[in-house]
Structure 1
Amino acid sequence: MNIEKLMQSLEAKHPGENEYLQAVREVLSTIEDVYNQHPEFENAKIAERLVEPDRIFTFKIPWVDDRGEVQVNLGYRIQFNNAIGPYKGGLRFHPSVNLSILKFLGFEQIFKNALTTLPMGGAKGGSDFNPKGKSDAEVMRFCQAFMLELWQHIGPDTDVPAGDIGVGGREIGYLYGMYRKLARENTGVLTGKNLEFGGSLIRPEATGFGGLYFVKQMLETAGQDIKGKTIAISGFGNVAWGAATKATELGAKVVSISGPDGYIYDENGISGEKIDYMLYLRATCNDIVSPYAEKFGAQFVPDRRPWELKVDIALPCATQNELNEEDAKALINNGVICVGEVSNMGCTPEAIELFLQHKIMYGPGKAVNAGGVATSGLEMSQNAMHLTWTAEEVDAKLHQIMSEIHAQCVKNGREADGYINYMKGANVAGFLKVAKAMLAQGVI
């Protein structure tokens, strides 16, 4: 495989799709050695086939707001690869949504889903619609219009969307209701549903919970304990909520959350009612965290990110490329020992390179944040069997899945000096499973 030649071809075909090209380069650079050990991969052009989605649906979404005015948004569904199972990946409703971001997320989803050991392919979708500030009726009308375009392309054994940024239980409910009406069937075609109609317990917390299970194992493998460690978290939505909750349960102290307006530093730790207040802020305060400081007497630092804090562990929980090279330098200078991406591709390539150079424990998003899609997969299983597992059962299965992902990363990422390159380990393990499935099924 000639990485530069392949990347030049992609850049020519998809100019300006920076997030997508970044994600592809990261994976290809870490699997190159393994790929070249398998001439059958090159003969079947596995890399060239893997980096392009199977298909992309793009559609307009006209809907009527509460003032009676017609609004028009763009919708997307990218079905990337289904070699090991039905397409699976979230829907994101946010003004920043574009083809590049969704292609990067869909590409990452292929390997993340493969790592879970569950039979799920990779996909992603969404719209530039912003649910913030919209009434329930407006969100409902938009979701119904979105599903009217999408429903014929999805199904429980075809493509199973889920939630992501801007798509929570409310949106999933409206989307599922419209799908049920159009398809005239009750099936597990969406995950993240309410418990009353097929949802799974602990799904909202699962990404954060799984991330902490993975980080705990990283530390234990290095002979360290998570108890007593200080943690900086970014974001303050469901992912950050789950991460803060589980970190506190495991005996660590979370000292930060963040939003577009800046970050909160709470040296006393964010736990108990403070964690609950995070969700209240997200629901009522239009993405700002500053009211936390007034309520709990903490420090609010405007227009900055929490990576300048002196902490043991840094957990990006917000969005892609939120931790850059300067942030990485600050964390390393302050003695950070572990960085785990609980968001998708939370660190820039330059930041990752610094962590690897300094032998910092670094966990990539496709491994660390796989708990969310793993629990979505468990929801699919419950739907298929027409039953509901207890929270304890789901949590136990999630814990086991994260342990298996960690083991795969260690197996494929341990270097000669003993350092574990989790990024390489995750990419190689996920790639080999998908590549072998593609090879076995022929050129299609």
Structure 2
Amino acid sequence: MSFESNFNAFDEWISQRHPDQQEYLQATREIAGDIIDVYNANEEYQQFDVLRRLTVPERIIHFSVCWLNDAGKVEFNQGWRVQHSGLIGPYKGGLRFHPTVNESILKFLAFEQSFKNALTGLPMGGAKGGSDFNPKGRSQHEIMRFCQTFMTELQHHIGPNTDVPAGDINVGAREIGYMYGQYRNIHNRFSGTLTGKGLSFGGSHVRTEATGFGLIYMLQAVLEHHQQAIEGLRIGISGAGNVALHAALRAAQLGATVVSLSNSRGCIVNNNGFSEADIQWAIAHKANEDNILTALQEHAGGDWHDGKTPWDAPMDIALPCATQNELDEDAAQTLVHNDVAFILEGANMPCTDAARKVFEQHHIPFVPGKAANAGGVAISGMEMAQNASFQRDSYSQIDKTLQQIMRDIHQKMVEEGTHNGRTNYAKGANIAGFKRLADAMVAQGI
């Protein structure tokens, strides 16, 4: 059977099942297209129907969250936990609180998380969850009450050997703390049920920095593979959250020139680059500013572009770190025109299919989020191990381990994705993750 007929049959099958879940369809099609030859060459994979089975979540939990606001009125939100794959370990993945959260987004994130976690080499399955609750403008007491009510339902479905959630968009150490406190009160048990906790009650060093730092460590590995160094290179970053700011910080510390950051209101471009001190200032003051980027402009200079993205600025390396499908075909063409040399995804699937095709057509190395932003979940896995052993490693030990994990992921992509002297990082990541999950599925039967 030809590649085309296999892929088309799969695409027709999954499109008919989930016609309205575009993010989920985008993620599954992308992986299926890269691994179909591997699937067809393995009789056991076909016998156990691993391709279709790996695209279907093992469990989707959907629940209501009714809570009291400060005015004493009942508010209602929806909550989800998508437990996609537990083949290689407890379900693991973040919780997101944002009004755009829906089942399609969480299914795509949980699917990607399963492959990301497989790439780390750690024993972690894949999951994602959250709520359409919007914490913006809410009081601290309202956020606490919501987190406690959310956990009152979620606690039925998680545990240190079952499912270990972490933070994601709008879920930081504060929210994790509120949820963990509720879990502990209900179960009368101190355990590693959540990661991303504060250092005072079982958290890990480097967790806050891990995704952004890991992105830069992956960039270093890619550059070394192409006989280049990071010093002096111009790096454009989108986003102004945890990942973007810590990626900018580590890049500046290593001698790169960070020329941009962005948020939903626009972008800031500084052709001279933001210094390490500038970025440290933004990290320190972010919580107290209505728009940290306009505040950063006043503090450090640069040009603010209202309603714009940073991809028009000349840069050697593009690191999209904001949200899914933020970098489209037009932006990709602009980057190519401006001679961008490398693209690494700091967010989950921030490049559209059309953008990815542009990069591939021009042979520009492109590292997908499932590999490039795996540093966060890698440190979450280490936090699980530290909680289980009632120990804590030092900051420097964990940072060194993070660097090694990112280099190991890079090596897997090179091994699986190199053909005729050129490495297709996206294909290498998808094949490496697929093989680990597929082999575990075959070994465990049906």
TM-score (structure 1 length as normaliser) = 0.98
Matched residue, 1:11: 15
Aligned match for 1:61, one of 62, 65, 68: 65
CA distance in 2, matches of 1:248, 1:279: 14
The 5 A counterparts of 1:43-442 are 43-280=47-284, 282-286=286-290, 289-416=293-420, 418-442=421-445
Pairwise CA RMSD: 1.1
Paired AA for residue 431 in structure 1: F
CA distance in 1, matches of 2:247, 2:170: 19
CA distance in 2, matches of 1:141, 1:92: 16
Q: Deviations over 1:317-369 (max 9, x none)?
A: 11111111111100111011000001111111111111111111111000000
**8 A contact 1:237–1:278 mirrored in 2:** no
CA distance in 2, matches of 1:53, 1:284: 39
**8 A contact 2:82–2:107 mirrored in 1:** yes
Moved more, 277-286 or 187-196: 277-286
Paired AA for residue 443 in structure 2: A
Matched residue, 1:33: 37
1:281 is displaced (CA, Å) by 5.6
1:284 is displaced (CA, Å) by 3.1
1:294 is displaced (CA, Å) by 2.5
CA distance in 1, matches of 2:253, 2:238: 18
CA distance in 2, matches of 1:347, 1:287: 25
Q: Deviations over 1:211-265 (max 9, x none)?
A: 1011111111011111110100011111012101110121101011001111001
1:271 is displaced (CA, Å) by 2.5
Moved more, 299-308 or 275-284: 275-284
1:286 is displaced (CA, Å) by 4.4
TM-score (structure 2 length as normaliser) = 0.97
Moved more, 16-25 or 260-269: 260-269
CA distance in 2, matches of 1:21, 1:284: 38
CA distance in 1, matches of 2:17, 2:406: 36
CA distance in 1, matches of 2:277, 2:311: 24
Shift of the 24–345 alpha-carbon distance from structure 1 to 2, 3 Å rule, reads same
**8 A contact 1:59–1:75 mirrored in 2:** yes
**8 A contact 1:161–1:189 mirrored in 2:** yes
**8 A contact 1:88–1:160 mirrored in 2:** yes
Moved more, 284-293 or 6-15: 284-293
Say which SS state the counterpart of residue 268 (structure 1) adopts. strand
CA distance in 1, matches of 2:291, 2:173: 18
CA distance in 2, matches of 1:178, 1:270: 41
**8 A contact 2:274–2:300 mirrored in 1:** no
Overall identity of the aligned pairs, in %? 52
Structure 1 gaps of 5+ residues are none
**8 A contact 1:236–1:278 mirrored in 2:** no
Q: Deviations over 1:110-136 (max 9, x none)?
A: 110000000000000000001111111
Say which SS state the counterpart of residue 174 (structure 2) adopts. helix
Say which SS state the counterpart of residue 88 (structure 1) adopts. strand
Q: Deviations over 1:116-170 (max 9, x none)?
A: 0000000000000011111110000000000000101100010000000010010
CA distance in 2, matches of 1:114, 1:140: 33
Paired AA for residue 436 in structure 1: D
CA distance in 2, matches of 1:73, 1:313: 40
Moved more, 257-266 or 4-13: 4-13
**8 A contact 1:261–1:288 mirrored in 2:** no
Say which SS state the counterpart of residue 95 (structure 2) adopts. strand
Say which SS state the counterpart of residue 172 (structure 1) adopts. helix
Say which SS state the counterpart of residue 67 (structure 2) adopts. strand
How many pairs align? 442
CA distance in 1, matches of 2:27, 2:49: 19
1:268 is displaced (CA, Å) by 2.4
1:15 is displaced (CA, Å) by 1.9
Shift of the 287–25 alpha-carbon distance from structure 1 to 2, 3 Å rule, reads farther
**8 A contact 2:249–2:280 mirrored in 1:** no
CA distance in 1, matches of 2:31, 2:344: 17
Shift of the 282–130 alpha-carbon distance from structure 1 to 2, 3 Å rule, reads farther
